[in-house]
Amino acid sequence: MFTYVLRRLLATIPVMLIVAVFVFLMLRLTPSDPAAIIAGDNANTEQVAEIRRRLGLDQPILSQFVIWMGKTLQGDFGESFFFKKQVAELIFDRLEPTLSLAFFTLLLAILIAIPLGVVAAYRHGGWLDRIVMGFSVLGFSVPVFVIGYVLIYIFAIELNWLPVQGYQRLGQGIGGWLQRLILPSITLSVIYVALIARITRTSVLEVMNEEYIRTARAKGQTEAKVLIRHALANAAVPIVTVIGLGVALLIGGVVVTESVYTIPGLGRLTVDAVLARDYPTIQAVILLFSLAYVLINLAVDLAYTFLDPRIRY
Amino acid sequence: MSIEALPAELVDGPPQRRRSWRLAARNPSVIIGALIVAILALLGALAPLLDTLPPSEINPVFRNKKPGAERVIRDSSGAEQKYVHRFGTDSLGRDVYSRVLYGARVSLIIGVTVAVISVAVGLAIGLIAGYIRWLDGSIMRIMDGLMAIPAILLAMGVVSLSRAGLIAVVIAIVIPEIPRVVRLVRSIVLSIREEPYVEAAITVGTPTPLLLVRHVLPNTVAPLIVQGTFICASAILIEAILSFLGVGIPPETPTWGNIMAEGRSLFRIYPHNIFYPGLCLALAVLAINMLGDGLRDALDPRFAKRV
Amino acid sequence: MAGTASILAINDLTVALPRGADRANAVEAVSLSVDPGEIVCVVGESGSGKSVTAQAIMGLLPAELTARSGSIRLEGEDVLKAGGARLRHLRGTRMAMIFQEPMTALNPVMTVGDQIGEVLEIHTTFAAAERRLRVLDIMRAVRLPEPERLIDVYPHQLSGGQRQRIMIAAALVLDPALLIADEPTTALDVTTQAEILKLVRDLQQRRGTGVLFITHDFGVVAEIAHRVAVMQRGRIVEIGSREEILRRPRADYTRMLIAAVPPLEPPARPPKTGPVALSTHGLSKTYGSLGLLGSGRVVRAAQSVDIAVRRGETVGIVGESGSGKSTVARCVARLIAPTAGEIRIGEVDVAQLPERRLRPHRRNVQIVFQDPYRSLNPRRTVGMSIIEGPINFGLPRPQALDRARRLMTLVGLAQDVLDRYPHQFSGGQRQRIAIARALAMEPQVLIADEAVSALDVSVQAQVLQLLDDVRRRFELAVLFITHDLRVAAQICDRIAVMQRGVIVEQGVTAEVFAAPQHPYTRALFDAAPGKDAEFGAVAGAA
């Protein structure tokens, strides 16, 4: 098992390296001069040259990469062109809203989706199953922001139960913080719930066809225990895998949800940065999100050691 | 079906694969999904003939009208005609109904284009990765790296590299979709390679390229069609999100996404800008997902799992 | 006969198949009984309905099958009429079942101790400590080594035989009156099978359990049955004592089955004197490496194997799983490249030839694979599969088709079925097609890699006959890989016995069978089920 853990840890390095290379090349891949794009249409040659020097674009590409990697690993992401602040500072500012949103969404999604999926598998073919499956396809199909606006319309505008948009820092009171997170979390969780419910149902159903389920029944075990102890326990690995992979959807959704609900988080930062072509920020955000994604999936891989003894021994 | 193997009699019946396609044609999800998509495509294609106004025609006088608002238009011969803005107008006075119908074109075209390109490129790379051992490792590393970046971010990153436009958006959406196709194709290749009938073909001297085309490739058709369908849905969604965020197709060419983007600021008072295109978007993506689900259930490719 | 003291009395049971199946009922009007302390074997080929019968007793029929009529009395109680809760109570306490594949029949994420203990958990009120003691007890009774250690181990850490013992332990821990065993040894090696059969017999004797033992192997029947029921297509063809069925079968079907069982005594064969077509010298295949930390595993699948096959001769490689026999076959067919050694086809050493230089030699060695359902491309007509090879080597299509047609007649199939797809044929027919495909290349060497192992015994006899005919007609050198000693005895001129990658004994079949030298060979022959039995009153004319 130790070698497994070690190998998984080591495997993340080449992946992050590729991400880093891609992110680094992003700026250097533009067909036109990146410095000119940043400077804008009205800049003169001196300003463009100045930007080029500032970005270090006049040096050979390999040394640019090394310098950039070095700085990044120390947490120095450079200065944002647009916000005129250190990118690291920007990111740190926006961390709390995004993490709060992500945390609640994950909690909501897992607590709702897994039981839903299990019940759908148990009552396979029945009306509950069909509803869950129907909801899941809907959840994939309706875009996050449409769901957001629909929810805002119903709950905030018409019924006036919840605030329409905005975010309140935890430090300013937990009540307001929670209140403002309800609608965004629900919005974001829809697609995630759809995904997890579906994979839970599918995995449990697949597992129910395995031979050891028949053995358990042959021992006289009740259907409920067969479902939980035998089926779910074995379906856990694919379910947890998808939870990890689905975080990619979550991250994408965060970007949109923060825009809809005007939450000042990392997602909004990304959008603003892309619109302003603020490359240092774009690079930093992509790197960070990818790192988060890779680490979460690493955690999933490590979780396997608990879920599947074949990996442990 | 029978409980154990069939007894030794010749069973008559058409070959397996045609039976699956026929099954697909009767699957309710497939029928409904295909029907809806066809209708939307038709609406988009025939948009000029369906009582629409030019979608980028700005008319500041009539801006932000609620659905059902009427107005008088002079047509080319000078005669006056009544026109009803079924879906209202946006903040620049453009008719939302017309924009939604024209928007169908772009959204659907992007979906299909992205699907076709990603499947084609992914197939090629996947075949190489599956069959040429020494390239497999590096190719899959790169794919893992690309997959580590969430799709929207990747797309946004690529878009930020160049001027906004159709081609940029298509490329931006294609790139994150390719790794998944590569994974799928590679896994199919790896498992088919182990099948005895492929080994038999090797022993009778079939050279590798012919092996790939004749024995491996046909097994990829059904899963790729299913996957392509899901990619189409995903592409339409991503394009909508990109446009909604303002980093997609510029608003002169209407897409459902940028129509909604446009209506964000005054959403509280004029929700129609978001709801009508949103409805169409949801419907289109839903239909395509249903189509994909139905195809997958009918063709039962062991590999085309949704996720 | 079903007396009132019978543990199990099935009377006139009919289980219906859903519409569209190849027949109306999975089992029809089946009646049989099991008395205390008796082992009743239900024997039949695939599709005979023997498994369905077993499942019906336990109430574990799949949803599509329904018991239409009849009764199944377990200690006098009709289980077909029992409700869910009653059935669940009976399962594990009064009747228990063990299955064919111990790997898949055990939950991979639960310790084996917990899985045995589960039976106690469901049906008794014992505390955890008491349960553990009883689990250890039953583990000792099924002769598992080191029960205190194994109790906390997971299924994948055990061997196939050990896993089957766990299944038996879980089945017998509450001393049920009836044990149903559905092909429990089919997936096990011959030596392991012998141990498990002995275990079942011993346990059953000591506890007086009635056993319903499902199998397709008459050797197993000969080894342990008291009474035998023969099934065909859902019906009972004949029931009788072991002596009656094996020696004096009355029904035609039973006679046919008995006659198809190859005897364990090899017939006398003249030595073959043709030129050596295939020879290997020092053939070795090693997998894996030590890795960076020296912790990798090295598997020596084949070590220094020397074999020679003459034209017109059949040489068998006999061994259990992991013996390396398949590895040798795949090396000879150059599906994999050996790590060391020579493989001479005629005069040419093909062991290390790169693909391009190898290709012209490929036609000389052809192979028939084990699984008839996967060795033909399901998307191509059988005709296309047969002519693929000849066309690769330049034969024009019309001539290739001609050859295909002639070969189809040769293997006993009609000529006009070339346009059909594999799924339209039965397993035995597909193997014939596979043989035709191999012959289309006009090879010198034919490898049969467990080519009849997946076939029913009656079909097996036919295909073996075909292989023999084909060998004689074309003077082929046949390398026959098998784990089945009877089959080896029947058609091999010489055999090589392999264990863990090494040939432990090699020689003329009759000599090796009569006087095995190596202890492993002796153990192998000792373990062959039914080795002391005589089948059929008529000497089998194979």
pLDDT value for B304: 39
Give the max Cα distance, chain A.
84
Q: Taking 90 as the threshold, does the pLDDT of residue C144 lie above it? A: yes
A211 to chain C: closest CA residue: C105
Contact call for B13 and C424, based on CB within 8 A: yes
**Which 3-state string (H, E, C) describes C321-347?**
CCCCHHHHHHHHCCCCCCCEEEEEECC
Whether A183 has a pLDDT exceeding 70, the answer reads yes
- Helix intervals (H) in chain A: 2-28, 34-39, 45-55, 61-73, 87-122, 127-141, 144-151, 174-208, 211-218, 223-225, 233-260, 266-276, 279-307, 309-312
Name every chain A residue with its beta carbon within 8 A of the beta carbon of B231. none
Cβ atoms of A172 and A97 closer than 8 Å: no
At A90, is the pLDDT very low, low, confident or very high (cuts 50, 70, 90)?
confident
- Neighbours of B (≥3 Cβ pairs closer than 8 A)? A, C
Query: Pairing state of beta strands C235-241 and C227-232?
Result: antiparallel
Higher local confidence (pLDDT), C14 or B164: C14
- Burial (Cβ within 10 Å: 0-12, 13-18, ≥19) of residue A252: buried
pLDDT band at residue B305, thresholds of 50, 70 and 90? very low
Strand (E) or helix (H) holding C213: strand C210-215
Q: Residue C347's pLDDT is what?
A: 87
* pLDDT given for residue A29 in this prediction: 67
Q: Which two tokens stand for residue C120?
A: 């106690």
Write down the residue that tokens 């010489």 correspond to: C494
- Residue C426 to residue C23: CA distance in whole angstroms: 16
* pLDDT confidence band for B70 (50 / 70 / 90): confident
Which residue among C60, C108, C109 sits closest to A218, beta carbon to beta carbon? C60
Are A143 and B274 in contact (CB < 8 Å)?
A: no
Q: Using the predicted structure, report yes or no on whether residue A56 has a pLDDT greater than 80.
A: no
Q: Which residue is associated with the tokens 């020679």?
A: C308
In chain C, pLDDT over 90 holds for what percent of residues? 81
Chains in contact with C, counting 3 or more C-beta pairs less than 8 Å apart as contact: A, B
What tens digit of pLDDT does each residue of C167-195 get? 999 999 999 999 999 999 998 999 999 99
Report whether A60 contacts A68 (CB < 8 A): no
A52 has a pLDDT exceeding 90: no
The Cα–Cα gap between A146 and B286 comes to: 13
Q: Which of A214, A215, A239 to mutate to test the interface with C (most CBs of C within 10 A)?
A: A215
Reported as a single tens digit per residue, the pLDDT across B27-43 is 888 999 999 999 999 98
Are B37 and B111 in contact by the 8 Å Cβ rule? The answer is no
Look-up of token digits 């605030």: A163
**Is this prediction's ipTM beyond 0.90?**
no
Cβ-defined contact of C52 to B3 (cutoff 8 Å) = yes
Alpha helices in C71-229 (DSSP H): 84-93, 102-105, 112-123, 128-141, 147-150, 160-172, 190-207, 218-224
Confidence band of C148 (pLDDT split at 50, 70, 90): very high
CA of C107 to nearest chain A CA: how many angstroms apart?
Answer: 5
* Whole-number Cα distances in Å, C443 to C58, C366, C390, C436, C475: 52, 6, 11, 11, 10
Contact B5, C410 (CB under 8 A): no
| Confidence grade of residue C351 (pLDDT, cut at 50, 70, 90) | very high
Rounded distance between C-alpha atoms, residue C28 and residue C233, angstroms: 9
Name which of C52, C65, C107, C290 to mutate to probe chain A: the one with the most chain A Cβ atoms within 10 A of its Cβ.
C107
pLDDT tens digits along A130-180: 898 888 988 988 888 889 888 888 888 788 888 778 887 877 788 888 888
d(CA C33, CA C53): 12
> C71 to chain B nearest CA, in Å?
21
Nearest CA in chain A to B280: A142
Answer positive or negative: Cα dihedral of C368, C371, C372, C378. Answer: negative
pLDDT of C539: 42
Beta-carbon pairs below 8 A across chains B and C = 113
Using the beta-carbon criterion (under 8 Å), do C99 and A217 form an inter-chain contact?
A: no
pLDDT at A35: 66
**What is the reported pLDDT for A4?**
83
pLDDT reported for residue A31: 56
User: pLDDT value at position C294?
Assistant: 61
d(CA B170, CA B255): 13
Residue C293 pLDDT grade (very low, low, confident, very high; cuts 50, 70, 90): low
* Percentage of residues in chain C having pLDDT higher than 70: 97
- Please enumerate in sequence order all residues whose Cβ is within 8 A of that of C372, keeping only pairs 6 or more positions apart, or say none: C427, C428, C430, C431, C434, C454, C455
Q: Helices (DSSP H) in A165-210: which residue ranges?
A: 174-208
| Residue C365 touches chain B, beta carbons under 8 Å | yes
Mean pLDDT (whole number) for A35-59: 71
Tell me whether residues A218 and C97 touch, CB distance under 8 A: yes
pLDDT value, residue C15: 94
Is C170 close to A219, i.e. CB distance below 8 A? yes
With CB atoms and an 8 Å threshold, state whether A218 touches C96. Answer: yes
The dihedrals phi and psi of C360, each to the nearest 5 degrees, come to -60, -25
Lowest-pLDDT range, A102-116, A286-300, B146-160, C251-265?
Answer: B146-160
Share of chain A above pLDDT 90, in %: 22
Where residue C105 falls among pLDDT bands split at 50, 70, 90?
very high
Q: Is the CB of C367 inside 8 Å of chain B's CB atoms?
A: yes
Query: What is the predicted pLDDT for the residue at C202?
Result: 93
Min Cα–Cα distance to chain A from C112, Å = 12
pLDDT tens column, C482-530: 999 999 999 999 999 999 999 999 999 999 999 999 999 999 999 998 8
Q: What is the mean pLDDT of chain C?
A: 91
Confidence of residue A274 (pLDDT cuts 50, 70, 90): confident
In one-letter notation, the amino acid at residue A12 is T
Task: Answer yes or no: do A221 and C89 touch at CB < 8 A.
Answer: no
Q: Nearest CA of chain C to the CA of A112: how many Å?
A: 25
List beta partners, residue C43. Answer: C215, C230
Residues in A touching C89 (Cβ below 8 Å):
220
How many beta-carbon pairs under 8 angstroms link A with C?
75
Chain B segment 229-258 residues within 8 A of A by beta carbon are 233, 237, 240-241, 244-247
**What is the band of A117 on the pLDDT scale with cuts at 50, 70, 90?**
very high
| Residue of C95, C97, C106, C109 best to disrupt the A interface, most CBs of A under 10 A | C109
Tally C-beta pairs within 8 A across A and B.
Answer: 151
Q: Which residue of B has its CA nearest to A283?
A: B157
State the pLDDT at residue C538. Answer: 46
Residue C92 touches partner B, C-beta closer than 8 Å: no
- Which residues have CB under 8 Å from B260's CB, separation 6+? A145, A146, B240, B243, B244, B273, B274, B277, B278, B281
Residues from chain A contacting residue B162 (CB–CB below 8 Å): 30-32
Report the candidate in C527, C533, C532, C537 with the shortest Cα–Cα distance to residue C185. C527
Strands (E), C268-318: 276-287, 299-310, 314-318
Say what the pLDDT of residue A55 is. Answer: 66
Give B133-158 pLDDT, tens digit per residue. 889 988 998 998 888 888 888 888 88
> How many CA atoms are closer than 13 Å to the CA of A166, on its beta-carbon side?
9
Tens of pLDDT along C355-375?
889 999 999 999 999 999 899
What residues contact C510, with CB distance under 8 A and at least 6 apart?
Answer: C266, C267, C268, C269
Whole-number percent of chain A with pLDDT over 70: 93
pLDDT of the residue at C216: 92
pLDDT of residue B244: 87
Q: Between B8, B17, B203, which is nearest C459 by CB? A: B8
pLDDT at B307: 31
pLDDT at A78 over 80: no
Give me the mean pLDDT over the B179-198 stretch: 91
Cα-based distances in Å from B249 to B154, B243, B283, C14, C152: 16, 6, 21, 68, 61
What pLDDT is recorded for position C534?
76
Q: Tell which C residues from 438 to 497 touch B, by Cβ distance under 8 Å.
A: 440-441, 459
Chain C contact present for A307, CB below 8 A:
yes
Mean pLDDT confidence for C432-457: 94
Asked whether the predicted pLDDT for residue C330 surpasses 80, the reply is yes
Q: Is C259 helix (H, G, I), strand (E, B) or coil?
A: helix
